[in-house]
Amino acid sequence: MEETRGLWWIILLRAYGKLTGDYSLQERVDVQTGLKMILNLCLTDGFDMFPSLLVTDGSCMIDRRMGIHGHPLEIQALFYSALRCSREMLAANEGSSNLIRAINNRLSALSFHIREYYWVDMKKINEIYRYKTEEYSMDATNKFNIYPEQIPLWLMDWIPEEGGYLIGNLQPAHMDFRFFTLGNLWSIVSSLGTPRQNEAILNLIEAKWDDLGSHMPLKICYPALDNEEWRIITGSDPKNTPWSYHNGGSWPTLLWQFTLACIKMRRIELAKKAVALAEKRLPIDLWPEYYDTRTGKFIGKQSRLYQTWTISGFLTSKMLLKKPEMASMLFWEEDYELLEICVCALNKSGRRKCSRGAARSQILV
């Protein structure tokens, strides 16, 4: 989790200015210097060729071994948000012009990469199911050399007809098809996904409520690692047993991100359903950190009580539902000017640039 603090700091700095109207903090020289230091670190050229950030296992909300090393969705969504925040807050001068240019280039490349390669729905899974492998050309459909056998059996029956989501991770010859809640919710909030993708993510959560919400919203990821997979990937972690803690546990702190995403997509009734469910249990259960079991029935076996992020997540959700107009200060709409310089579609002749018209039509890329 420590690796994400710089990104969250940038996001919260922007939120503070928006909500209070006090922009003097972000304009301070030491704050601007800190902002630039974080950005220079994240935007430094390395050996990795992808626009997504390369990180180690345990580098996000899931801070123990869970097989999320590489390019986990949660980090990419936070990175995208932090870049959009920074572009708003950086003082425009000669010293920041190159940095702002680098931010714009990375934003367009990252949004294309996630929208095109991380997205799965019934149509995309069927496409992967019929992939040819060992393709090497600009015209290749299977650009990451994904083997169809990687599609897990649970996914074929789980994915709804209407709905989809952004997968947890992507690397050459590897797709992590698990559903990670925070990454998908923050992709909606930041407009990392297209409007149509954002709507489909909430469709999936609603269709699969018994799996992702059930007795206590929301699952941190789905499904849980179990049996031999759990032993190998987690190292037989006694805290991350199947459907516990970060291995498929339910975390009430995710309520506020869920509420924010629902308000943005005009799905307030879905948010109210989740908050009402939590409101019945959290005060009685003494505000635990997380819940265990497949349906989130039990308080986590090592869950701490009176957790600040559980209480604040619930209270933030209640406040957002009371004043939904305030939510617009915390989320981002689609940036059509940014889309004009991004590569948003593929055809047989290679990549072509998108137009404002294509962006506004909300075509799924």
Does position 163 have pLDDT exceeding 90, yes or no? yes
Say which amino acid occupies 163.
G
What confidence score (pLDDT) does residue 3 get?
Answer: 59
Average pLDDT over the chain reads 91
pLDDT > 70: percent of the chain: 92
- How many residues comprise the chain? 365
Could you give the percent of the chain with pLDDT greater than 90? 82
Instruction: Report the pLDDT averaged over residues 158-178.
Output: 95
- Kindly give, in sequence order, each residue whose CB lies less than 8 Å from that of residue 187, ignoring residues fewer than 6 positions away: 73, 77, 80, 114, 166, 193, 197, 198, 201
User: Per-residue pLDDT tens for 274-333?
Assistant: 999 999 999 999 999 999 999 999 999 999 999 999 999 999 999 999 999 999 999 999
Q: What is the pLDDT of residue 319?
A: 97
Q: Hey, what are 281's tokens?
A: 């249990």
- pLDDT at position 45: 81
pLDDT bracket for residue 342 (50, 70, 90): low
Cα separation of 318 and 323, whole Å?
9
239-279 confidence digits (pLDDT tens): 999 999 999 999 999 999 999 999 999 999 999 999 999 99
Q: Report how far apart, in Å, the C-alpha atoms of 338 and of each of 78, 191, 197, 354 are.
A: 18, 12, 18, 10
75-84, 133-142, 218-227, 252-261: which range is least confident on average? Answer: 133-142
pTM of the predicted model, to two decimals?
Answer: 0.92
Predicted local confidence at residue 231, as pLDDT: 97
| 82-98 mean pLDDT | 91
Q: What is the pLDDT of residues 9-18, one digit of tens each?
A: 999 999 999 9
- pLDDT band at residue 58 using 50, 70 and 90 as cut-offs: confident
Output the 3-class SS for the chain. CHHHHHHHHHHHHHHHHHHHCCCHHHHCHHHHHHHHHHHHHHCCCCCCCCCCCCECCCCCCCCCCCCCCECCHHHHHHHHHHHHHHHHHCCCCCCCHHHHHHHHHHHHHHHHHHHHHCEEEHHHHHHHHCCCCCCCCCCCCCCCCCCHHHCCHHHHHHCCCCCEEECCEEECCEEECCEEHHHHHHHHHHCCCCHHHHHHHHHHHHHCHHHHCCCCCCECEECCCCHHHHHHHHCCCCCCCCCECCECCECHHHHHHHHHHHHHCCCHHHHHHHHHHHHHHCCCCCCCCCEECCCCCEECCCCCCCCHHHHHHHHHHHHHHHCHHHHHHCCCCCCHHHHHCCEEEEECCEEEECCHHHHHCCCCC
Cα–Cα distance between 307 and 292 in angstroms, integer? 16
Instruction: Tell me how far apart the alpha carbons of residues 87 and 108 are, in angstroms, rounded to a whole number.
Output: 13
Span 136-142, mean pLDDT? 79
Give dist(CA 292, CA 247) in Å, integer: 9
